[in-house]
Structure 1
Amino acid sequence: MSDTPESPGTPAPPGSPESPSPADLMDQLARVAAAYYRHFAAAATVHGLTLMQGKMLSLLRRPRPMRTLADLLGCDASNVTGIVDRLEARDLVRRETDPADRRIKNVVLTEDGERTVRAIRSGLMSDLTALERLDAGDRRAFGALLDRVFPDPATTG
């Protein structure tokens, strides 16, 4: 049996698994994403946060404008205002004027917010241990595949 990859259009040899179709991969991705967000929601709930509040905190590794947060969360800017208001009332974030453009308000994590994000991530990692079982090469390959399928808009185009 040859170690060379099959040419396009050539049926897979008997007994070998067929390559999943793009639709199969999309279904698998939807299942994985749903499982991840169930874990994420559970980790956020431990800290008295909704899924969207936890997601927002996790996006604040660096200060971000409200409009950017709305785009990243896929929601209306008015929803972001409400989420930020609730997080600010709990002293997890604060609004700061952007030094480059005083019309823009950036959302910044407070120390309590940073601790909460670390705790949520720790909770996720304790539930999703399979990533830790991957060796360094598999983690690089997995990360590269994710970047190819979902390029970071901040680093492309």
Structure 2
Amino acid sequence: MPDDPHADTAQLLELLSVSLGVYYSDFAAASASQNLTASQSKALVVLRRGPIAMRALAETLACDASNVTGIIDRLAKRGLVRRETSATDRRVTNVVITAEGERVTDAVRANMCVTRDGLNSLCDRDRDSLYALLNRVFLVRPE
């Protein structure tokens, strides 16, 4: 690191890349422990926020609508999600997570040992700071 003690954007990007690689590997392994692909688990995580139209789910997952159909078909076959016709537009199919889907999603999160151990090593103040920073960087956008 140069004499300047502040991390520059390139250093932050590198650390984020490494961190996300560790997170993704942990997520994929935890998903596999529940006989899910990472894409299936990611869909369940999105559905925890509430019902969503198939097309919007495809956009959120950044994949083709036909891929989402296959993902949802496999999740529905296991009873982890169900399809419902939209109350406002009968042409739209929403996907809803089931209680079993929520249980499996919780199990995936519980099996993310590397990520959980890292986060649990933080004191409350550092955890609050990380939460605020991640919100500010990735979720809260100035208008």
TM-score range, shorter chain: 0.7 to 0.9
Return the alpha-carbon distance in structure 2 between the equivalents of residues 115 and 148 of structure 1. Answer: 29
Q: Which residue of 1 aligns with 2:96?
A: 108
Return the alpha-carbon distance in structure 1 between the equivalents of residues 140 and 55 of structure 2. Answer: 17
Q: Please tell me the residue identity of whatever aligns with 2:118.
A: A
1:71 to 55, 59, 76: 59
Q: Which residue of 2 aligns with 1:19?
A: 6
4+ residue runs over 4 A deviation: none
1:38 aligns with 2:14: no
TM-superposed CA distance for 1:152, in Å, is 5.5
Q: Please tell me the residue identity of whatever aligns with 1:33.
A: L
Larger Rg: 1
- Within 5 Å, give how 1:43-54 maps onto structure 2: 43-54=30-41
1:146 to 131, 134, 140: 134
Q: CA RMSD in A?
A: 1.9
Q: Which residue of 2 aligns with 1:99?
A: 87
**Is the helix fraction higher in 1 or 2?**
2
Q: Which residue of 1 aligns with 2:114?
A: 127
Q: Comparing both chains, which one has the higher relative contact order based on Cα–Cα distances under 8 Å and sequence gaps of 6 or more?
A: 2
Return the alpha-carbon distance in structure 2 between the equivalents of residues 123 and 23 of structure 1. Answer: 31
Residue by residue, what CA displacement relative to the aligned partner does 1:70-119 show, whole Å, maximum 9, x if unpaired? 12211111111111011111111110112222222111112221110111
Q: Would you say how many aligned residue pairs link Structure 1 and Structure 2?
A: 140
Return the alpha-carbon distance in structure 2 between the equivalents of residues 65 and 94 of structure 1. Answer: 12
2:76 to 55, 67, 88: 88
Q: Please tell me the residue identity of whatever aligns with 2:139.
A: P
Matched residue of 1:102: which SS?
coil
TM-superposed CA distance for 1:18, in Å, is 2.3
Q: Please tell me the residue identity of whatever aligns with 2:84.
A: E
Return the alpha-carbon distance in structure 2 between the equivalents of residues 139 and 69 of structure 1. Answer: 30
TM-score of the superposition, structure 2-length normalised? 0.88
Using the aligned pairs only, state the percent identity.
46
The runs of 5 or more residues in structure 2 that have no matched partner are none
Q: Please tell me the residue identity of whatever aligns with 2:79.
A: D
TM-score of the superposition, structure 1-length normalised? 0.81
Q: Please tell me the residue identity of whatever aligns with 1:146.
A: L
TM-superposed CA distance for 1:127, in Å, is 3.0
